[in-house]
Amino acid sequence: METVTGIFPSISGLHCILRMNVVFVAILLHSHLECREPLLIPILSLYMGALVRCTTLCLGYYKNIHDIIPDRSGPELGGDATIRKMLSFWWPLALILATQRISRPIVNLFVSRDLGGSSAATEAVAILTATYPVGHMPYGWLTEIRAVYPAFDKNNPSNKLVSTSNTVTAAHIKKFTFVCMALSLTLCFVMFWTPNVSEKILIDIIGVDFAFAELCVVPLRIFSFFPVPVTVRAHLTGWLMTLKKTFVLAPSSVLRIIVLITSLVVLPYLGVHGATLGVGSLLAGFVGESTMVAIAACYVYRKQKKKMENESAAEGEDSAMTDIPPAEEGTDVVEMREEQE
């Protein structure tokens, strides 16, 4: 528990990152960059936010974590970390992140080319640009659910944060995940399906006019269905991270790109164009990715279950062998009984 309380200051320090981004934007807006190079304002703000985040994480690590990490780990904790082990754990997660980052540029490209580079294409890309941050608000935080399993699952042998007096079970994690998904779905439907709420958000926060905000309503309503695949993906990814079986996640990123591009090519023939095409294709990609993650999790679960059954069967055979007395001892007992008779 001492470790947990020590980490909280580092986590709470991360909340200052968003505030620092806002502060830097406010400062830069009062400089001459607003007139000379307006694009430098968000770029410099991102750099300063990243610098603050990196500094906060490094200070938190060296203050609360660095001294308690053992130099060596025994076999019961998975053994020592090697470059090969770390790469095998990391590269599927890096591949997934890369495919997630290139999805939106691919969507913008196909949506623009679908409309032939006309003014309608420019408008569609502008709608996508405006709806991305607003649509991401109610469900984006669900991605962090993947960190719950590695941190609190009692079956994780390297878990140092689980208290023996108050153990977090898999059932608790599943309930927590379900509550988060239900909360996100509720926020999505309240924000995007309640009349005039999404328009007001776009007008007051993004700063668009009412006519443009009306064009964003349908794409934002499609975002309402994102929490389900995102939650499934995050929950199962966290479980696979606990087992260090991340290699089975690699096909999901490939399938996401395949489904995304297929949707962007096929949906225009069904009469879907513009920003609706882009957001709908993103949803299809998310569903395809989460489906593949679920298939991979089922595969790992069946292998784990079969392994446990084999181990229990082997233990049963060993115990049965130890219960049977040796043949010589059995004959000695029979001979002693015959002599007594």
**CA quadruple 149, 91, 10, 13: dihedral sign:** negative
* Cβ atoms within 10 Å, residue 237: 26
**Predicted pLDDT at 126:** 92
In 140-156, which positions are buried (b, 16+ CB within 10 angstroms) versus exposed (e)?
eebeebbebbbbbbeeb
**Predicted pLDDT at 224:** 95
**CA quadruple 266, 270, 274, 278: dihedral sign:** negative
The DSSP code for 71 is S
Q: Is 45 exposed, middle or buried (0-12, 13-18, 19+ CB in 10 A)?
A: buried
Give the span between the Cα atoms of 170 and 142, in whole angstroms: 18
Give the span between the Cα atoms of 249 and 237, in whole angstroms: 8
Give the span between the Cα atoms of 264 and 281, in whole angstroms: 6
**Crossing angle of the two packed helices 83-114 and 250-266, in degrees rounded to 10:** 0
Contacts of 10 (CB under 8 A, 6+ apart): 56, 57, 59, 60, 61, 63, 64
Print pLDDT tens along the chain (341 aa). Answer: 344 434 434 444 445 555 566 676 667 666 766 667 777 777 887 888 788 888 888 888 888 777 776 666 655 555 566 788 888 889 999 999 999 999 999 999 999 998 887 888 999 999 999 999 899 999 999 999 998 988 887 666 555 544 555 677 888 899 999 999 999 999 999 999 999 898 998 888 878 889 999 999 999 999 999 999 999 999 999 999 988 889 999 999 999 999 999 999 999 999 999 999 999 999 999 999 999 999 999 999 999 888 888 877 777 666 656 655 555 545 554 455 555 55
**Predicted pLDDT at 8:** 39
**Predicted pLDDT at 318:** 62
167: left (phi over 0), alpha (psi -120 to 50) or beta: beta
Is the CB of residue 10 less than 8 Å from the CB of residue 61?
yes
Structure tokens, 313: 């069967």
Number of H helices, E strands in the chain: 15, 0
**Crossing angle of the two packed helices 2-13 and 15-29, in degrees rounded to 10:** 10
Nearest alpha carbon to residue 73 among 164, 156, 191, 175: 156
Give the span between the Cα atoms of 118 and 234, in whole angstroms: 38
Nearest alpha carbon to residue 154 among 239, 80, 85, 78: 239
Is the CB of residue 211 less than 8 Å from the CB of residue 123?
no
The residue written with tokens 């069904």 in the block is 270
Q: Tell me the pTM.
A: 0.78
**Predicted pLDDT at 158:** 57
**Predicted pLDDT at 333:** 46
Question: Where do the structural domains in the chain lie, given as residue ranges?
Answer: 1-67, 84-322
Q: Is 62 exposed, middle or buried (0-12, 13-18, 19+ CB in 10 A)?
A: exposed
Is the CB of residue 243 less than 8 Å from the CB of residue 236?
no
**Predicted pLDDT at 40:** 78
Is the CB of residue 222 less than 8 Å from the CB of residue 280?
yes
